[in-house]
Amino acid sequence: MSNERHRLVVGVDFGTTYSGLAYIHTTEPDYKNIEVIDSWPGRGNTNHVKAPTEISYSQNGATWGYDIPPNGIRHGFFKLLLDVNASATQYDNPRLATSNPKSMESSYANIPLPAGKTAAETTTDYLKLLYTHLMKTLHQRFIRTLYNTPIQFVLTTPAIWSHEAQNATCQAAKDAGFTSRAGDTLIMVSEPEAAASYCLKEIYHERENSDNPLKPGERIVICDAGGGTVDLITYTIEKVSPRLSLYEAVVGSGGKCGSVAVDRAFLNLLESRIGPGFRKWPARKTAPQSSLMRSFDTAKKEFGTTTRTNFWRIPVGYVKDDPKNGIEDAELRLTVADMKGLFDPIVKQVIALLGRQVRDSNKLDSSNKVSTIFLVGGFGESAYLYKEVQAWVRWQSYHIRVINPNFSWSAVVRGAVFHGVEGIVHTRKLKQHYGVKIGVIFKPGVHDEEDSYIDPFYETKYTRDNVKWLAGKGDDANNEKVISIPCGKSFLPGDKRTIKLTLVGCKFDNPPPSAKHWKVDTLGTVICDVSMMPPSAFQIKRSGIVLQKVVSRAGFTVDMKVGSADLELDLMHAGKSYGKATIEY
């Protein structure tokens, strides 16, 4: 740290239902000095560690979070729309999932966006308001030094998100003003990795002088259960001294089965109790921060606690009394059985995810099994989820502690800050196979004619319908390890010196050789500008007998690094970098 210029590190937890901010100055880098912003427009003197991820538009401009007026039209859940092209998983809740096995797009058809706005534009507008509040807060805190202090922003995304969604989130943040000051930077980290950074640091200090200190080899599962997504990653403690260091033990997993699914189940229950008239309610009455949903949110938090409550009363307004359906005096009566019916389908999905992580980890080394499960995130704070996970652990006869850590809801944003100061996860597992579409010599009867082409350099017929798999699901990924993509293309005189590669992925265990197979996902198009490559990168050939044409063929590699929540692509030739490749989604 002494050789670096001191900076502010700011964690940005952009969540489905709530978002948070935290920061630290590197002159005091201890994780205990992390400050969470808890003052928000519209909250007055009441402090809260997060603000609603909601925005409202009017003739007077946009308002957000707690500052949206009661009669304002709220737009929320738009974060989920950044990842509509993600493949569905077996752990997605039906209320958030789709019947289409390839895409989540139709799942979110009922998430309304502002008129004339895309999900990316809405996200940018929201993050712009978040950024403005952040900078105002930092200016008040560092009134004399902020102008000359560089800021490193650490933005979190779900671990299960596609690279397209990661990129869309990053670009929205940049468009919103993050990194707009000279010297400011932005990096990405997955939400469970951020949570692991904070939780493991905290438990390390708690157990440092106890009879049960954190030991190398110990395995810990982070379950980040939020509003729209649930992410799980199992980490192994590599070492505790001189610095805490972790690595991913098995491939992480997750699904779209967060607390939003509980809210939607409640609204469906409400419709079944009230009848067709419910559909005529204005959207503001069922919006996340409406009095209806705030009352239900209180019931959610109480459910599973030691509070001896057999039912909860939810104000529903002027609705005709219907005692059989639990509606009397403008209130809906929710019983314990009702709440279990709302929670259980989602809780079962979370436990299924936990079971998969524990089984996969224990298979690696039966003598060194998972010791601890951390439940973090908004849904991770649920007392009912905590009790059910504990009951599952006992039923399975696992010797696993289930911990809901201090500052559970803000663990991700605190961990994002700590990741920027001192990342402790050095090796991750690839969550899918990576490959590129390539051309191979055409074989009649084997390949489709429509996929064929003639290479002008080799003057040979090739076919495009093939995949060269370069890295496998479960392979290690770190800052030193690259996925080297061999590249070659023939150019005629006048051709633009640009090469496009189709990057593909497969989340199944055995990736097929054909790019057309339904198991193969197109991840994006890698754009390589080879105009700056040296002459040694090109082979030259004269083609034709009478009218000879000079044909050149470029040969180089693209070195790809898969980070916690991003991709880095370098153009390489003879061991030297010639700039960055870009990727279009």
What is the model's pLDDT at position 1?
A: 44
Query: CA–CA separation, 344 vs 337, rounded Å?
Result: 10
Residue 298: in which H helix or E strand, if any? Answer: helix 291-302
Please tell me whether residue 533 adopts helix, strand or coil conformation. Answer: coil
Structure tokens at 313: 């009363």
**Residues near 256 by beta carbon (within 8 Å), at least 6 away in sequence:** 80, 89, 92, 93, 96, 97, 104, 107, 160, 228, 229, 230
Whether the bond between 29 and the residue before it is cis, its omega within 30 degrees of 0, is: no
Which of the residues in the chain have pLDDT under 70?
1-4, 85-111, 307-308, 543-548
What is the model's pLDDT at position 98?
A: 39
Phi, psi of 9 (to 5 degrees): -110, 120
Structure tokens at 224: 């980040």
Query: CA–CA separation, 59 vs 82, rounded Å?
Result: 26
Q: What is the DSSP secondary-structure string of 513-531?
A: S-TTSTTPEEEEEEEEE-T
Question: What does DSSP assign to residue 450?
Answer: G
pTM exceeds 0.95, yes or no = no
Residue 302: in which H helix or E strand, if any? Answer: helix 291-302
Domains and CATH numbers, the chain: 8-190 (3.30.420), 432-584 (no CATH)
199 within 8 A of 222, measured Cβ to Cβ: yes
What is the model's pLDDT at position 223?
A: 96
Residue 345: in which H helix or E strand, if any? Answer: helix 336-364
Euclidean distance between the first and the last CA atom of the chain, given in angstroms as a whole number? 37
What is the model's pLDDT at position 391?
A: 97
259 within 8 A of 312, measured Cβ to Cβ: no
Question: What does DSSP assign to residue 77?
Answer: -
What is the model's pLDDT at position 568?
A: 93
DSSP collapsed to 3 states, 242-273: CCCEEEECCCCEEECCCHHHHHHHHHHHHHHH
Query: CA–CA separation, 165 vs 178, rounded Å?
Result: 18
What is the model's pLDDT at position 89?
A: 64
